Structure 1
Amino acid sequence: MQLWIGLCLYRLPLEVFCPSWSAASCTAVLEQDGVLAMSRAAHAAGVRVGMRRGGALLMAPDIQLHERSVQREADALQAAALALLRYTPQVALAEEGVLLLDIGASLRLFGGIRNLCRLAAASVRALGFTAALSCAPTAQGAWLLARSRSGRSLTMQSLTRRLARLPAWLPPPARPFRTWLEGIGCQTVGELRRLPRPGLQRRCGRALLDVLDAAYGEAPEMHAWLEPPPEFKAGLELFDRIEHAEALLHGAQRLVQQMTGWLTVHHYAVERICLLLDHERGRTACPPTAIDIVLAEAVWRGDHLLRLLKERLARTELPAPVIGLRLEAVQVQAMTPLTASLFPEPGGTSQDRERLFELLVARLGADNVLRAAPQADYRPDQANAWQPVQHKLRPQDQRLPPHSLPRPVWLLPKPVALIMRDNRPFYMSPLRLVSGAERIEAGWWNAIQVRDYFIAEGSDHAHYWIFLERSGDGGEPRWYLHGLFG
């Protein structure tokens, strides 16, 4: 099924140059000293499109004026297109701030056209933009419907009816001839299409006929698809000095949206990201604050990354106000899709547990969330090691030397010397040996240890792991408590 989504970012100037604008703020964007776009408050104060700077200040003395930058608008369109790549790899930048998405192959994956449109609109809103969304069986038809905010058409019959009601000068090649079209009484695209083609071509050129033919599906359409960069590095310039780290989450969300689209189109999953907080430049310049997040398991969706960033930002103290953000995908790997098990594991999947660990690390710090990292050493106090949960264990690190007796789960950080009563080791009660000896003689390269380990039982039937240390200088052997059994 051939189907297109058209997204027209029709308030792009205001949202690019003043992202904190609202309908209640008096804001306008200037181009060549004339008003290009304005907020509702500025329009209510008497500011109009085309008004000069002096006239706008006269009508609204407290108005905020911003100069238009074509490069900034192009960067904003590129950012929106990059975020929308998560829904289809075929995204094209069209004229006048319109993005075209070929979604014919994505309908089943995202649950149908309604759900896909809802997701695409939500992604654009998350970037801070306002868009008019349309659907049509042709790309040019989707462009015309998006520019006129004329809704969605899923069939050619419905599209033909909607296009026939659009203004005749809506296609860009027809705009220079608007006065002539009004003079002959041609008001709609339907009436324009009924005009004689040879005469219309001589008067308006071949480009207008090509646009009409493409919109009605009577001519092939060619597009230059968006080529994502090989590496992801995106930045965002803030329009105010931010002094609290938690206030940066909205800007970080915009960058994560772009990274999610980049990961999807490359079939990557990210293992490590770095958010750089840029501070003031000039005499008071200081290096950027880096928030480095290492994931235990690679992900390609943004909701989990946003939770981690929220926790880290809440714990970050800014040395200076922040004026910009930069996000980098430092380490990526090939995406591995999730596999559904016929019999789900109790307590959640391994992915759920890894995400919980990552959230705890972001909230408590890497040094406070540890996992067991056994070492291949015969000495129990050396074999029992811990490391941050973010560090991955190598298979060779998990192999322990063979031993005959069971080992306790709880190993004391330092052996406790035991006293002797009636020639028996004593720990809250006399201990009775219930196993044979396991001799461990190792460590000749730094500190040799000769120990005989036993399992002992107290009068309360608790089991302990004790050892008899034999010194090589002929001294008296001593008993120590080294572990407790559950």
Structure 2
Amino acid sequence: MRLWIALHLPRLPLEVFCPRWSADSCTVVLEQERVIALSDAAYAAGVRGGLRRGGAILLAPQSQFQQRSPPLEAEALQAVAMALLRFTPQLAEAEEATLLLDVGASLRLFGGIRALCRKVADSVRALGFTGMLSCAPTARGAWLLARCGAGRALTMASLTRRLELLPVGVLPPARAYLDWMEGIGCMTLGQLRRLPRAGLQRRCGRALLDMLDDAHGARPEMHAWLAAPASFRARMELFDRVENAEALLFGAHRLLLQLTGWLSARQLAVERIALSLEHERGRTAGPPTVIDIVLAEPTWQDGHLLRLLKERLAKQVLDAPVIGLSLEAPQLQPMAPPSASLFPEPGGSKEDWQRLLELLAARLGADNVLQAAPSADYRPEQANVWRSVQQKIRSADLRAQLPPDVSSLPRPTWLLLQPIPLLIRDHRPYYGSPLRIRSGGERIEAGWWDTAQTRDYFMAEGEDHAHYWLFKERGGGAAEPETRWYLHGFFG
């Protein structure tokens, strides 16, 4: 099934200066000294589209007047397109601040057209823009419906009925001939389509008929798909000097949405991200503050990254006000989607566990959330070290570090921090009851470089059938009058 979503951004000239998630200010955008876009506060003050600059100043002298900036609009449209690549790789830019998404192959993945449209609208809203969504079996048909806010059409019959009611002025090639069309009573696309094609082509040109044919599926459509760049770096200017780190989360979320769209398009997962907080420029300029987040498990979803950034920003103390943000992804690897298991593991998957550890590390600090890792040392006290959960520990590397015969030797489940000296009764070690040796000795001689240990370890059993790990020290000189035994661990 071929289905297109069209996203039209009618307030783009305004929202590049005053996004929806920023403070509502009285902003007016001018083009050739006339108002083309205005905020709600300016509208409440009496400013209207088409008004000259002098009249707008008279009605709302407190307004911020901005000149339209096509480069900023193109940059904002590119940011929205980058974020929407997570829904489909087939995305094209159309006329008049509109994006076209071929979502026919994405419907099942995102739960149908309604759920997909809702997700697209949520992403656009999180980016700080206002969008008008529509869907249709043809790209031009979806574009026309979105430009007029005429709803959605899932079949060609429904699309044809909706297109017939649209005004002819929605077609760019028809706008130069609106007076003539009004003179002959041609006000809608349905009436325009019923005119003789040969005469309409001679009068208005071939482009008008081609656009009508594209909308009704009578002509194949060709599109230039947006290609994701080879590397990712996104930057945005803030609209005020921000002195509270937590207030930067809105802008950081916008950059994360672009990152996840880029990752989906390139089929990559991120292992580390770096958010740079840019400070004042000029004579008082200082180096940016970099928030570096290392992930134990690669991800390409924005939800987990946003939670980690929220925790880090909540603890961040700003040395100077922030005027800009930039986000980079220096460590990447190919995306490996999790397999759908018939019998999922209780308590969540391995990825869920790693996300929990990363969230704790972001909240408590990486040095306060540790994991156990074997060390290449025969001494039981030194055979385990604690490392940060952000430090990757690969099982292959650990096997290479460990001595070849350690993995086959018995080790207790519970190792005591300090060995406990044992009593000797009837020439046998005693711990609650006499202990009977149940294994051959394991001699450990190591640590000559710092703390030398010379011990013989045994597994022993008590009368309660519990198993213990004992050792006796070997003296370096004359024989001792009585052997000293120590308890070092308990077997499960």
TM-score for both structures, normalised by structure 1: 0.91
- Alpha-carbon distance in structure 1 between the residues aligned to 2:384 and 2:44: 72
1:380 maps to 380
- Alpha-carbon distance in structure 1 between the residues aligned to 2:272 and 2:408: 42
Aligned partner letter, 2:68? R
- Alpha-carbon distance in structure 1 between the residues aligned to 2:461 and 2:363: 41
1:39 maps to 39
1:449 maps to 453
> CA-to-partner distance for each residue in 1:190-242, whole Å, 9 max, x for gaps?
11122222222222111111111111111111111001101111112110111
Q: Which moved more, 1:440-449 or 1:187-196?
A: 440-449
SS at match of 1:294: strand
Cα–Cα, structure 1 residues 312 and 18, in superposed 2: closer, same or farther, change >3 Å?
A: same
**1:153, CA displacement in angstroms?**
1.0
1:354 maps to 354
Aligned partner letter, 2:86? R
Unaligned runs of 5+ in 1: none
1:248 maps to 248
Cα–Cα, structure 1 residues 277 and 412, in superposed 2: closer, same or farther, change >3 Å?
A: farther
Aligned ranges for residues 126-275 of structure 1 at < 5 Å?
A: 126-275=126-275
- Alpha-carbon distance in structure 2 between the residues aligned to 1:403 and 1:4: 58
> CA-to-partner distance for each residue in 1:46-77, whole Å, 9 max, x for gaps?
21223233321211122222232111111111
**1:87, CA displacement in angstroms?**
1.2
**1:33, CA displacement in angstroms?**
3.2
Aligned partner letter, 2:81? A
2:85 maps to 85
**1:34, CA displacement in angstroms?**
2.5
Unaligned runs of 5+ in 2: none
- Alpha-carbon distance in structure 2 between the residues aligned to 1:33 and 1:427: 97
Q: Is the CA contact (8 Å cut-off) linking 1:22 and 1:39 kept in structure 2?
A: no
1:439 maps to 443
Q: Is the CA contact (8 Å cut-off) linking 1:418 and 1:425 kept in structure 2?
A: no
**1:21, CA displacement in angstroms?**
6.9
Cα–Cα, structure 1 residues 345 and 183, in superposed 2: closer, same or farther, change >3 Å?
A: same
> CA-to-partner distance for each residue in 1:245-298, whole Å, 9 max, x for gaps?
111111111111111111111111111111111111122222111111111111
Aligned partner letter, 1:85? L
- Alpha-carbon distance in structure 2 between the residues aligned to 1:94 and 1:146: 12
- Alpha-carbon distance in structure 1 between the residues aligned to 2:111 and 2:28: 40
> CA-to-partner distance for each residue in 1:62-103, whole Å, 9 max, x for gaps?
222223211111111111111111111110000100000111
Aligned partner letter, 1:372? A
- Alpha-carbon distance in structure 2 between the residues aligned to 1:327 and 1:218: 44
Q: Which moved more, 1:48-57 or 1:171-180?
A: 48-57
1:51 maps to 51
- Alpha-carbon distance in structure 1 between the residues aligned to 2:397 and 2:484: 34
Q: Is the CA contact (8 Å cut-off) linking 1:417 and 1:478 kept in structure 2?
A: no
1:467 maps to 471
- Alpha-carbon distance in structure 2 between the residues aligned to 1:450 and 1:144: 85
- Alpha-carbon distance in structure 2 between the residues aligned to 1:353 and 1:423: 51
Aligned partner letter, 2:372? A
- Alpha-carbon distance in structure 2 between the residues aligned to 1:6 and 1:20: 20
> CA-to-partner distance for each residue in 1:102-158, whole Å, 9 max, x for gaps?
111112222211111111111111111111111111111111111111111111111
SS at match of 1:220: coil
1:408 equivalenced with 2:412 (yes/no): yes
- Alpha-carbon distance in structure 2 between the residues aligned to 1:282 and 1:462: 73
Q: Which moved more, 1:343-352 or 1:432-441?
A: 432-441
**1:349, CA displacement in angstroms?**
1.6
- Alpha-carbon distance in structure 2 between the residues aligned to 1:483 and 1:168: 86
**1:38, CA displacement in angstroms?**
0.8
Q: Is the CA contact (8 Å cut-off) linking 1:411 and 1:484 kept in structure 2?
A: yes
1:397 equivalenced with 2:398 (yes/no): yes
- Alpha-carbon distance in structure 2 between the residues aligned to 1:484 and 1:232: 52
- Alpha-carbon distance in structure 1 between the residues aligned to 2:26 and 2:55: 14
**1:174, CA displacement in angstroms?**
0.8
- Alpha-carbon distance in structure 1 between the residues aligned to 2:255 and 2:410: 52
Cα–Cα, structure 1 residues 356 and 163, in superposed 2: closer, same or farther, change >3 Å?
A: same
- Aligned residue pairs total 485
- Alpha-carbon distance in structure 2 between the residues aligned to 1:296 and 1:21: 32
**1:468, CA displacement in angstroms?**
2.8
Aligned ranges for residues 15-30 of structure 1 at < 5 Å?
A: 15-19=15-19, 25-30=25-30
- Alpha-carbon distance in structure 2 between the residues aligned to 1:32 and 1:74: 19
Aligned partner letter, 1:470? R
- Alpha-carbon distance in structure 2 between the residues aligned to 1:23 and 1:245: 16
